Structure 1
Amino acid sequence: MSLPAPGSPGFSSLLLRHVLNHSALKGWAVNASLFSTILLILIVKNGGLIIDIDNSKSDKIVEVIRAMMESIFGLSVGHLSLSSSTYTEELPWKLFRSSPACISQFSAHASESIKSLKHDLDSNTRNKRDIHHHLDKGHLIVPQVLVLTGLESAASTVQMKLCEYFTKKRIEVRAGQVNGTLGDEMLKLCDFNPMVIWIRRNGADVPWWVIDHFMCATSIQSSEISLPPNDIDLGAVIPQSYLATLSLLLPYTHIHPPLAVHISNLFSALTCHPSLHSAITQRAVRAFPEYVRAHRLLVGDFALPNGFEIRLQEEQDGRARAAKDRQGTGGGVVGVHTWNVLAGEEPDINDLRGDCGRGEEELEDWYATPLNVQGVWKVCMIHRIRKRQVRDEVMWLMKGSASGGMKKGMGRGVGKILDEILTAV
């Protein structure tokens, strides 16, 4: 069974069936909900994923995520386990998976420092920093997917440092030695932009500025997932080129102005609801329409011209070269060369026909619908809101709103309120 063509009727069901029936998985029953959420993240490539679990250990879900990423999507996976005892200086070293040669070389230089660190941690702060920052940039293996556990228990300084990495998408490392000592090193920048999956203890309280780096959230019980077989094959049931094609089709998925207004009204209703405390940031507002588009790609059918993949890649390569050539001359996120997009100009699917499609009947563009908004509403918003305490809600009603009381909503859960907002707006 081959991969379904983008735009095929029942595309998401066909894709899941292709994965479940693939011989590489050895009959492993992949959780459909988790697979769909991860697929959204991989297509949009904007923000990470939070997976809330019960009080059981996270080892099982980590193993499931690793198997899904390595065997289904062919991505390398790194696991970073944090705790309240993790200190900031450990992070650069723990984020990377180094080759055995690099590890042994590092251990030979740093073994004495490690011993002294264990002997007297407080008096060896400099050695501690050197140990965890000394990395050989030529041997660093940056994972394509980073699985985080224990982030909710880490100190605020550790959370801040990780958020800095996620924002800058680069990490400063000390690499290279002068006169053979760890004390004399050069500072280098290493690109760091993995897909981040945070396995969080359900109900854990974390700052909003940490949550803002994660665009989707889902919850799962241990009983809902099954461990992969021991003999599962590594590879890519869904190759990266296939996902890249879906990502490149996002700009061709249009959102009508009335639907854009509807989305704006939803955000307003969410932020003004007296029972909810929300963290709807500009990052979330900008990213949400992309997830609506991705949902439309996965669940709706549409027509594509013959050979569109080649033309799509050519346009992408051309835009990348143009952006590189324009550096320093008006390029960038809000540079003059992006004004056409900011003004509302959108690409036309008929532009992908190329010379071979000249004279053919023009294809119809496809648009997102309120059903697509509904499809990603909870998964994109559930982690950004929390229930107000009764006294906080009363004070908010007295000071922050003139809309009157809504005491009937005090006992409702967050998910139910989200559904009611979606229905009412």
Structure 2
Amino acid sequence: MAAHTPSIHTPPILPLPTPGSAGFSPALVRAVHASPALRGWAPDGTLLAVFVLAMVARRGGVLVDVVRDRGSPVPGVHRVVRAAIALAESVFGLETRTIVLSAHSTAADVSFEPRAGCFVIAGLEDAPTPVQIKFRDQVALADKWVRPPLVVWVRNEDKADDSPPWLIDIFSCSIAVVPDDIEPPPAGLEQTALIPPDYVADLRSLLEVTHIHPPLEVHISNLVAALSLHPSLASTITARAEEALTRLVRGQRLLASPFDLPPDWEENVHTWQHEVGNPNAARRQAAAAGGLSGGPGGVDTWARRAGEVPRTEAVVGPGGDEWYCLPENVAGAWALAVRHRVRVREPGQGALYQLNGTAQERAAKASKHQGTVRETARHRREVDQALEELLLTV
């Protein structure tokens, strides 16, 4: 495991856009690009936006598939790893650890340190099964930390179909990148929180009052059902994946579509975070009331534990909008949330063939569609096309 602890300094305060303003996400990317702390480096805007969405939704990590057009994929993976580290450290101010694995790695090579705010993983697709199991267990433990880390897996796309579903399920969203489109960061960037933790925490609080109408929830459920029944796609959509999809749809609404906030929204949000959003608030309230409220898990916390959505006015103050997710927000989050959970069902992979075909025939069928750049690109196009068709037809 490699540790990245660059010198930390206080960056100049960036004029970050107000949540809900028109063109919020592009404005946020422009503000980051304009910072002199990056010394002219322009982080990939799509990758930056996906990192923000994952940190706000907080329902699993980010899987970055490195597309290999030609030649060896290793330099491309290294370039994307460097960009991911620089994003975490120099944009979000996260102390980062890098874990580089291979077919010869052991479980001892995987260890998460509570002090780190981000883990960037490479080579996990090549690691033996015991190493992958240890990684899954470490992520499950890290999810219980007071500040769960951002986990980023940079994967060779050629080996995407080899990743087991229980490993994929850790990651709520994915993105495919072409290494040549990723500008490498300059050496020696300092650790700076251009997008401060408090700013991300405010976005998380606003996510709690981002609503989905019941008809749109039905639409999302229908999309998932149609994907599971698609004749040419094999997919693994778990309950965790469905919950992450809904959360990402709400996050996409928050970051991509406008809404109005009252002038004193920040003060109101911070008050709500301290009194209600803070997990220790119930304990303080129980102590002040002499224990009558029952404390954490008591009657005064039942509604929150049951998933009750707080009133918008209670979080941002009077005068704010009630904003709801739109069909275009489902479209914006759809591929991000499910693409890495889907693969092309090749001819001969059906149940009857698996029962009736000989072992030699099955091996020949599998090797025919393995390992070439052309086949990988074809699979990617077929998956993307199928996902778009589902949005149009469901």
Instruction: Please indicate the TM-score interval, normalised by the length of the shorter structure.
Output: 0.7 to 0.9
Q: Which moved more, 1:21-30 or 1:149-158?
A: 21-30
SS at match of 1:392: coil
CA contact (8 A) 1:274 1:393 kept: no
Question: In terms of Rg, which structure is larger?
Answer: 1
Partner of 1:198: 153
- Cα 1:395–1:331 shift into 2, 3 Å: farther
Partner of 1:309: 266
| Pair 1:52-2:7 in alignment | no
Partner of 1:154: 127
Q: Which moved more, 1:162-171 or 1:224-233?
A: 162-171
Aligned equivalent of 1:82, options 80, 101, 105: 101
RMSD, aligned CA: 2.8
SS at match of 2:195: coil
CA contact (8 A) 1:216 1:380 kept: yes
Identity percentage of aligned residues: 37
Letter in 2 for 1:3: L
- Cα 1:317–1:218 shift into 2, 3 Å: same
TM-score under structure 1 length normalisation: 0.74
Partner of 2:26: 13
1:42-87: CA deviation from partner (whole Å, max 9, x where unpaired):
1111101111113233221111111111111111110001111111
In the alignment of these two chains, the number of paired residues is 341
CA contact (8 A) 1:166 1:193 kept: no
| Pair 1:24-2:37 in alignment | yes
1:273-331: CA deviation from partner (whole Å, max 9, x where unpaired):
12111110010111111111111111111111222222222222223234446799685
Equivalent-residue separation in structure 2 for 1:191 and 1:339 (angstroms): 21
Alignment of 1:202-351 (within 5 A): 202-204=157-159, 205-230=162-187, 232-319=189-276, 320-324=279-283, 331=296, 339-340=302-303, 345-351=308-314
Equivalent-residue separation in structure 2 for 1:13 and 1:266 (angstroms): 28
Shift of 1:89: 3.0
Equivalent-residue separation in structure 2 for 1:265 and 1:234 (angstroms): 44
CA contact (8 A) 1:306 1:353 kept: no
TM-score under structure 2 length normalisation: 0.79
| Pair 1:42-2:15 in alignment | no
- Cα 1:49–1:253 shift into 2, 3 Å: same
Partner of 2:390: 421
Shift of 1:220: 0.9
CA contact (8 A) 2:250 2:325 kept: yes
CA contact (8 A) 1:165 1:192 kept: no
1:118-164: CA deviation from partner (whole Å, max 9, x where unpaired):
xxxxxxxxxxxxxxxxxxxxxxx631100001111111111111111
Give the unaligned 5+ runs of structure 2.
Answer: 1-13, 354-377
Shift of 1:341: 5.1
Equivalent-residue separation in structure 2 for 1:40 and 1:291 (angstroms): 7
CA contact (8 A) 1:275 1:393 kept: no
Shift of 1:225: 0.7
Letter in 2 for 1:280: I
Partner of 2:3: none
SS at match of 2:185: coil
Q: Which moved more, 1:161-170 or 1:195-204?
A: 161-170
CA contact (8 A) 2:172 2:337 kept: yes
Equivalent-residue separation in structure 2 for 1:336 and 1:298 (angstroms): 34
Give the unaligned 5+ runs of structure 1.
Answer: 97-140, 172-189, 397-409
